[in-house]
Amino acid sequence: MKAIIGPRFYGKCLQSGCVQAFARRLIAWQRRHGRRGLPWQGTRDPYRVWLAEVMLQQTRVETVVPYYRRFVARFPDFAALARAPLDEVLALWSGLGYYARARHLHAAARLVANSPSGRFPQSAAALERLPGVGRSTAAAIAVFAFGERAAILDGNVRRVLARHFGVQDGRAQWRLAQTLLPVRGIETYTQALMDLGATVCRRADPACVRCPVARSCRARREGRVAELPAPRARPKVSRQQASWLVLLEGRRVLLEKRPPAGLWGGLWCFPDLGRNARTRPASGVPTGPALEKRIAQHLCRTLGCELLRIERMPSFVHAFTHLRLEVQPWLCRVRVSRAMPVGGGRRWFGLRRALAAALPAPVRRVLLALRSQKAPQGTSAASARWRTSTRQSRPNASARRSARYTERCRPPVQPIATVT
Ligand code: SF4
């Protein structure tokens, strides 16, 4: 395999004047072919630019547009965002993923609102001190809001520089990105880089025939487009199992708020019977009556509920970049037998109100399935079975067994799968 191309090449390139040509061609291309009409374009309001840049981190433009519109309609400026409770912010963010971004936005808005000047930071260096704003995001905000000559280097731009100049080292890329900045037209140039990376110099199947800088592209000339940039080591993906208790009393469902930090921090989820790393084979996990017994005990002990009936919903997998979460939801029809213990952030919601809360996408899907009485995922056969079982009103044998367990339950209860 050929050695990875080092910074020597772009040293020659700088001398040959192709740096100016690179920016000039990109600017000309952006004016004719760049993306236009996006709701965050055409404004210099730093709040809106900041909001868009944060939403666009690791998320596609098409996905962001409706979220951005709703967010701006509800929180038109950072003062409105700072006044809002975090719960409401997370509810509007619900489904967009990477929820730390929403928590950071909210924290940053409060930081600005409570600062002595009460003004939004006016430079890339100052923006970088806000929670959730990295070097590239700060630069993008400073470019579009204040016209500052600052270099961005997100994943798309890294790919363009790696292919076009053959530079892959992180520090060298920052130096190169800084060197490439044009004297005039910084906004158009920055937008062009973003557009080129997203629509032409794509990770898979780049459209080199449409590329405005194809003539000077080193990877293309050397037939190495497919191998640049060299793939980064993938983060190790761990596996976890979760058994969600979908507690239904009439049309009310029990949700609990997750701790502020960590996975789905601050969002409303179903109580989880055991969300632990899978460290032993699936055969070690209790099933059937043993599982129902544990569920009934757990309900009785912690939630003040009497289990009337339990139904297994189709399981599904939710994939994060670093985690594969295998979820088994259990639909538990219950009667509230005593006051729910104080604390734990649990609350009964009507289905409609639950759907308006701050929810992770898979919880929302389960709730939507409940509302329409359809299985959330799984095979059609499994869905059909689940639909059939939900139509039965008479408690079955397992429910009667569970009810007996409910009366006899004693703490403590172990989670279904335990870390060993
Ligand atoms: S020619 Fe192809 S590989 Fe090179 S910058 Fe353009 S799109 Fe990317």
Cα 43–chain centre separation: 26
The Å distance, Cα 89 to ligand 1 centre, comes to 39
Position 373 scores a pLDDT of: 72
Ligand 1: residue whose CA is nearest its atom 8: 201
Split at pLDDT 50, 70, 90, the class of 183 is very high
The Å distance, Cα 214 to ligand 1 centre, comes to 5
Q: Please name each of the domains of the chain with its CATH number.
A: 8-221 (1.10.340.30), 238-408 (3.90.79.10)
Cβ neighbours around 353 below 10 Å, total? 13
DSSP 272: B
Type of residue found at 76: P
Residue 282 clears pLDDT 50, i.e. is over it: no
Position 79 scores a pLDDT of: 95
Please list every protein residue whose CB sits less than 6 Å from any atom of ligand 1.
Answer: 160, 163-164, 200-201, 206, 208, 211, 213-214, 217, 219-220, 225
The Å distance, Cα 163 to ligand 1 centre, comes to 6
d(CA 356, CA 255) in angstroms, rounded, equals 12
Average pLDDT, the chain: 83
Burial class of 420 by CB neighbour count within 10 A (0 to 12, 13 to 18, 19+): exposed
Residue pLDDT, tens place only, 187-241: 999 999 999 999 999 999 999 999 999 999 999 999 999 999 988 888 889 999 8
> Are 2 and 228 in contact, with CB atoms under 8 Å apart?
no
Q: Tell me how far CA of residue 172 lies from CA of 14, 84, 287, 417, in angstroms.
A: 13, 42, 55, 47
CA-based nearest residue to 357, from 280, 420, 246, 269:
269
Does 53 qualify as catalytic in the annotation?
A: yes
Q: Please tell me which residue, 335 or 401, carries the higher pLDDT value.
A: 335
Residue 312 clears pLDDT 90, i.e. is over it: no
Ligand 1: residue whose CA is nearest its atom 2: 208
Of 72-76, 355-359, 394-398, where does mean pLDDT reach its minimum?
394-398
Position 374 scores a pLDDT of: 52
Q: Please tell me which residue, 24 or 388, carries the higher pLDDT value.
A: 24
The Å distance, Cα 210 to ligand 1 centre, comes to 9
d(CA 392, CA 386) in angstroms, rounded, equals 10
> Are 22 and 184 in contact, with CB atoms under 8 Å apart?
no
Q: Please tell me which residue, 225 or 282, carries the higher pLDDT value.
A: 225
Residue pLDDT, tens place only, 360-419: 999 999 999 998 875 454 444 444 444 433 333 343 444 444 434 333 333 333 333 322
The best mutation among 29, 160, 218 to test binding of ligand 1, ranked by most ligand atoms within 8 Å of the C-beta, falls on 160
Torsion, Cα 116 122 126 130, to 10 degrees, reads 70
Contacts 24+ apart (CB under 8 A), 407-413: 409/296, 409/297, 409/300, 409/301, 410/297, 411/297, 411/301, 413/294, 413/297, 413/298, 413/301
d(CA 259, CA 5) in angstroms, rounded, equals 46
Backbone angles phi, psi at 160, to 5 degrees: -60, -45
What is the number of the ligand 1 atom nearest to the C-alpha of 218? 4
Backbone angles phi, psi at 7, to 5 degrees: -70, -10
